[in-house]
Amino acid sequence: MFENILPTEADTLRHETNVEVLDVREAHEVATGKIPGARHIPLGQLFARLNELDQNKTYVVVCHSGGRSALACEWLSERGFRVKNMVGGMLNWEGEVE
């Protein structure tokens, strides 16, 4: 199972040592701006790139509006990853972007 968190919580969490933001949007979406320091792995590539993720970290998963990130969280949590879904996605993000 995974937890849904608000963008304000995600903004606080992303500064913790063992937490990483995982952006599962497509490249053209990320080109419009992403959360600073976020790792970009499009949802369609997630299974093929699981080896790039560390099971000792917690991932805050982000997409455009929260749907794809919830699906990614479901898949990742079933595989033993600690994940949190940022509800509302980048549509609700009010922090800085790069």
Q: What is the DSSP string of 16-71?
A: STTEEEEE-S-HHHHTT---TT-EE--GGGTGGGGGGS-TTSEEEEE-SSSHHHHH
Residue 55, number of CB atoms within 10 A of its CB: 11
User: Which residue among the candidates 22, 38, 53, 63 is catalytic per the annotation?
Assistant: 63
73 part of the active site: no
- Please give the single-letter amino acid code of residue 79: R
Nearest Cα to Cα of residue 29 among 57, 67, 82: 67
- Residues annotated catalytic, as ranges: 63
